Structure 1
Amino acid sequence: MKFVVQKEVLIKSLKKVYRATSNKIANFSFDKIFLHVQNSFLNLTYLDSEVTIVTKVKLVYSDQDGSIVVSIRKFYEICSNAQNGSEICFVFDEKKLTILYERSKFSILIFRESEFPKLINWTSQVDFRISQIELRKLILSTKVSIGSHDTRYYLNGILLQNNENYIRAVSTDGHRLSVSQTYVKFSNYEKFSIILSKRGVVECLRLLENSDNLLRVSIGKKDFKMNMDDFSFCVKLVNGNFPNYQDIFLKTNKKVVVLDRIQFKNMCQRAMILLNDKNQSACFVFESHLAKITTKNFNHGEYEETIKVQYQDSIIKICLNVKYVLDVLNIIQCERIKIEMIDSISYVRIQGMSNQLSFYVIMPVRI
């Protein structure tokens, strides 16, 4: 079997697969890629215990269909070192794969196809289409609150659920919560609620582009899958029950502060100068038309700043993790934001004034 492919075309697809293996490459059983030539296309398949990625490459030439299994690390390193604009020729016999370009010749050993895990077919329960950029924004807006190695494993991911013609993404680590939603038109509406793992979140962000091209999303009992013309990605879902986050929105009588996002962000960044990893909390005081922040570090000193805001309610004093506040302000792109509070011991809700589809909740710090 012999086939030829353009270097740039191959590397663009191969990178999508190789990046998913970077943290698994130490495990020899996962250092394999399945190459399948069919109808002048090369399919690259990677599979481990959590994810499956398949990409498709248009070939310049192929003399017959066939398939082989090789080391993904060596395959990537050899192909990526070819000069841009060159064509890479692959010749396969029963024992080795020969790779030719320019004046270079490589011969690498192959594995038996039986050593490569078998793809498991599953039936989807929900299918819908969404643009790459909308799904990417949805994940980017909420990934900041994903738990990190939490023993409550269901917090180490993002909850995805639908409500009529909207998909909502929710994440929380117990100290903060992010909620975002986007419009999706369902051809056959069927309610779903799944938890996308942290690994799935990372790989989705690697694969999704800032493009309006539609992709098809399929959801099964245990799997989440994205399909495009040139790639497909599948990841196992987290098996667990996400906390009932909607209970915290039942409280009323909220105090609302409206202020400039950049001005507030700069104030919080200056507050971080005297803080450290062990102490990242600051005291916020909101009173008539003013917002004041104070921080204290016994080793370095104190910081205090006051800015003008739109607020005409009673004085409220609350302590928050400044890093959590900055994380939210870096995600929100609106010029003005609103901060909703109830009292000094209840949650704070932050939202962009021109974006009603996303909001963020931060729990106060008790000092």
Structure 2
Amino acid sequence: MKFTIDRDTLQKRLTNVQGAVDRHPQLPILMNLLVQAKDGTLFFTGTDLELEIETSVALDEIETGSVTVPARKFIDICNALPEQAIVDFNLDDDKVVVSSGRSRFTLSTMDSSQFPTVDEIGDATSFTVSATAFKGLLTRTRFAMANQDVRYYLNGMLLDIAPQRIRAVATDGHRLALSQIQTVTGVDEAKSVIVPRKGIGEISRLIGSREGEIGIRVGSNAIAIDIEDIRFTSKLIEGRYPDYGRVIPDASKCDKKIKVDRQTFRQCLERVAVLSRDKARAVWMNFGSGILKFKTEETVEREVAEDEMEIDYDGPEFKIGFNIGYILDSLSEIQDDHVDIFLTDATSSCLIQPHDDTDSQYVVMPMRI
């Protein structure tokens, strides 16, 4: 096996697959990348058994073969080489020699036949979608996913795919984020799957600033996404996702609707957050006629932060407590100048959404401060 490639092209491919390499693997070979040359195309593959990333590039001169090399070392070598350098890759018995100019590196290898790959998706639902729109969908909701929750189905994102739209939902049990895009998927009937947290992060990273269409295939136990010369595959989380529709307050039944300037609201929260460094990050919000007042709980040093802002509200005065971080996370994903806040009482969940826009909704449970 032998090929020559320019450093920048190689670096781009290695960067694409590095997210799938397991730093603390169950099997030593999972620390390696699979390098394959066949039919004039060079393939790089990384996997951690749960997800797999494969990328390819066509080369004019290439010797057929396959091998696995230490991923981290190979990537570091490529990064250390000067831009536009020419890289020679040569498999010699059980060693790989990577050379460029006066630099020469000899790497150990492992048998490529032992490299595990994610099973090919069989009967799958397939469609295409705008890369920009799909990444935006994930970005607006991914922050609400749980992390290492015993309720394993919360450690991922629900993708609810219908014939005319795709909806993403994430929750950690304390807050919920929902967003949807209107797009023709062509599916015959609605299909819901749970994509693991790591998989969502890798999809967003791989799409990056790419435009155009991406291809998505959803099977019974895996999802595959084709992004230009990249194929991403991830196993799905088995389990029943919570009925998120029951969690989201019905805006029409909430007797308190408050319209606020998003930037002013966010700045007030950021200021009072300076003195809410405890784990709960609690803040009281006191809604009054035309005024919203903020106040943190007194710290052990007897320190308190207070602030206020004008709001569009003329209902009865009431007070409710929240985790500041949960509110700020939601506001960070809303781009509108104004947001609508829907409330019923101090013990009911709060609904936050862009002004007069229901495609993105954020739910935060109140705190008992």
What TM-score does the superposition give when structure 2 sets the normalisation length?
A: 0.94
Report whether the alignment pairs 1:53 with 2:53.
yes
Per-residue CA deviation, residues 274-326 of structure 1 (Å, 9 max, x unaligned), is 11233411111112211111113232422222211111222221111111111
Aligned residue in 2 for 1:320: 322
The correspondence of residues 300-319 of structure 1 with structure 2, limited to 5 A, is: 300-319=302-321
Give the corresponding residue for 1:258: 259
Change (3 A) 1:97 1:248: closer
Per the alignment, residue 39 of structure 1 pairs with 39
Query: Which secondary structure state, in structure 2, belongs to the residue aligned with residue 297 of structure 1?
Result: coil
Structure 1: runs of 5 or more not aligned = none
Q: How far apart, in 2, do the equivalents of 1:253 and 1:106 lie? A: 66
Q: Name 1:109's counterpart in structure 2.
A: 108
In 1, Cα distance between the equivalents of 2:123 and 2:54? 18
Checking the alignment, whether the CA contact within 8 Å between 1:100 and 1:106 is kept in structure 2 is: yes
Of stretches 281-290 and 171-180 in structure 1, the one that deviates more from structure 2 is 281-290
In structure 2, how many angstroms separate the alpha carbons of the residues matched to 1:94 and 1:183?
Answer: 54
Could you tell me how far apart the structure 2 residues matched to 1:93 and 1:242 are?
A: 51
Alpha-carbon separation, structure 2, partners of 1:126 and 1:293: 48
Q: Partners of 1:33 and 1:94 in 2: how far apart? A: 18
Letter of the 2:328 counterpart: L
Question: AA paired with 1:260?
Answer: D
- Cα 1:250–1:354 change in 2 (3 A) is closer
Say if 2:248 and 2:363, in contact at 8 Å, map to a contact too. Answer: no
1:340–1:349 Cα contact (<8 Å) kept = yes
Distance 1:194 1:127 in 2: 14
* Residue 284 (1) aligns with residue 285 (2): yes
The letter of the residue matching 1:319 is G
Hey, what's the Cα distance between the residues in 1 that align with 2:158 and 2:248? 17
Residues 1:23 and 1:124: Cα distance change in structure 2 (over 3 Å): farther
Asked whether the equivalents of residues 90 and 100 of structure 1 are also in contact (C-alpha less than 8 Å), the reply is: yes
Q: In 2, are the aligned partners of 1:156 and 1:198 still within 8 Å (CA)?
A: yes
Matched-pair contact (CA < 8 Å) for 1:350–1:359 = yes
After TM superposition, the structure 1 = structure 2 runs for residues 74-153 of structure 1, keeping only pairs within 5 Å, are 74-153=73-152
Distance 1:348 1:290 in 2: 18
- TM normalised by structure 1 equals 0.94
Q: 1:74-121: per-residue Cα shift (whole Å, max 9, x none)?
A: 222222222111110112233222212111222223222222114522
Number of residue pairs matched? 366
Compute the RMSD of aligned alpha carbons: 1.8
Q: Distance in 1 between matches of 2:225 and 2:237?
A: 17
Q: Which moved more, 1:87-96 or 1:147-156?
A: 87-96
Whole-angstrom CA distance in 1 between matches of 2:59 and 2:25: 27
- CA–CA distance in 2 between the matches of 1:188 and 1:243? 23
Change in 2 beyond 3 A, CA 1:147/1:85:
same
Aligned position for 2:359: 357
- Opposite residue 352 of structure 1, the aligned amino acid is P
CA distance in 1, matches of 2:248, 2:77: 55
Paired residue for 1:217? 216
C-alpha distance after superposition, 1:3-54 (max 9, x if no partner): 1111001101101112332544695231121111123321001122201110
Taking a change above 3 Å as real, the CA distance of residues 73 and 25 of structure 1, as seen in their structure-2 partners, is: farther
Report the AA paired with residue 365 of structure 1.
M
> Residue deviations 1:168-195, cap 9 Å, x none?
1111111111000012212343321111
CA distance in 1: counterparts of 2:319 and 2:270, whole angstroms? 20
Give, in angstroms, the shift of residue 202 of structure 1.
1.7
Shift of 1:354: 6.0
Kept after mapping to 2: 8 A contact 1:6/1:59:
no
| Large movers: runs of 4+ above 3 Å | 22-27, 248-251
Deviations 1:42-67 (A, max 9, x none): 100112220111001233532x3222
| CA distance, structure 1, for counterparts of residue 67 and residue 29 of structure 2 | 16
Quick check: 1:161–1:193 contact (8 Å CA) kept in 2? yes
Secondary structure at the aligned position of 1:302 is classed as coil
User: SS at the partner of 1:215?
Assistant: strand
- Say which SS state the counterpart of residue 93 (structure 2) adopts: coil
Alpha-carbon distance between aligned partners in 1 of 2:227 and 2:163, rounded to the nearest angstrom: 25
Is 1:195 the counterpart of 2:197 in the alignment? no
Are residue 6 (structure 1) and residue 32 (structure 2) matched?
A: no
